[in-house]
Structure 1
């Protein structure tokens, strides 16, 4: 994939898998599914609980990796890693609503936002600047099958 194709793919709607190192010699990396937001040329943003394992590990590591994929043929994926450039303690309600509407149908998004309104004060926004990109598009292989 070209850099433009990778960025366009990452900007699409996919559930990402966030990975972050553990601390100590016995700790395994943490890898969990997560909603995210990204626009080409911008920052990757994830919302997570202030006191979550994810948040603690991200704070300690100062960086994380996000991998997104398309499982249906032709399979594609993009993995991006970089430093955390901001952790915001207050989430803009409009940003949270935009994320819910990115992943859910309109009526479901509204219900989700109402049912989880307390997350506005319980969550943080984590912003990462993409530095390392990996990606593959298996379209050419799929065409030969």
Structure 2
């Protein structure tokens, strides 16, 4: 049996460094694009994540900018199973994020020195490799099977 998380439980869970799964409306007759991403979240604030602007990731960026809204799910793959889904509105798309902004997200998943190296390499690239998206949470879904 599951229960809905309280607001505090939901926000604490989302603030942990899980992998998020982004889903955004697609173009044409294709189903929604759904991909894993690294993200950052501070309780009570907005959700942030970055995408690329080249190759396969360029489609994700274009779809996010066109749709302006998304669903974002974070789950715990081990018992007790829990998940939080955010339905939100894109309120920012920074095409020139600072190395500090990128390192703040990458540093949740990589050692600090590696995260800093990735951030400096990618943000120093003249082709503008990353777009930092900011999403305002509009609706929440959650479950705790514990």
Structure 2 counterparts to residues 59-78 of structure 1, below 5 A: 59-78=65-84
**Partner SS for 2:80:** coil
**Distance change in 2, residues 1:117/1:126 (3 Å):** closer
Partner of 1:20: 24
Decide which structure has greater helix share: 1
Would you say the 8 A contact 2:100–2:119 is kept in 1?
no
Give the drift of 1:86: 1.1
Q: Secondary structure at the match of 2:141?
A: strand
After TM superposition, the structure 1 = structure 2 runs for residues 1-145 of structure 1, keeping only pairs within 5 Å, are 1-24=5-28, 26-51=29-54, 52-113=58-119, 116=122, 118=124, 121-139=128-146
**Corresponding residue for 1:143?**
none
TM-score (norm 1): 0.86
Displaced runs of 4 or more, over 3 A: 110-120
Using structure 2 for the length normalisation, give the TM-score: 0.85
Query: What is the distance in 2 between the residues matched to 1:20 and 1:112?
Result: 26
CA contact (8 A) 2:96 2:123 kept: no
Which whole-Å CA distance do the structure 2 matches of 1:90 and 1:116 have between them? 10
Aligned partners of 1:85, 1:115: CA distance in 2, in Å?
A: 26
Deviations 1:37-62 (A, max 9, x none): 11111111111113511111111111
CA offsets per residue over residues 104-144 of structure 1, 9 Å max, x none? 123433454466455683211111100110111111xxxxx
User: Which ranges of structure 2 fall in alignment gaps of 5 or more residues?
Assistant: none
Instruction: Identify unmatched segments of 5+ residues in structure 1.
Output: 140-145
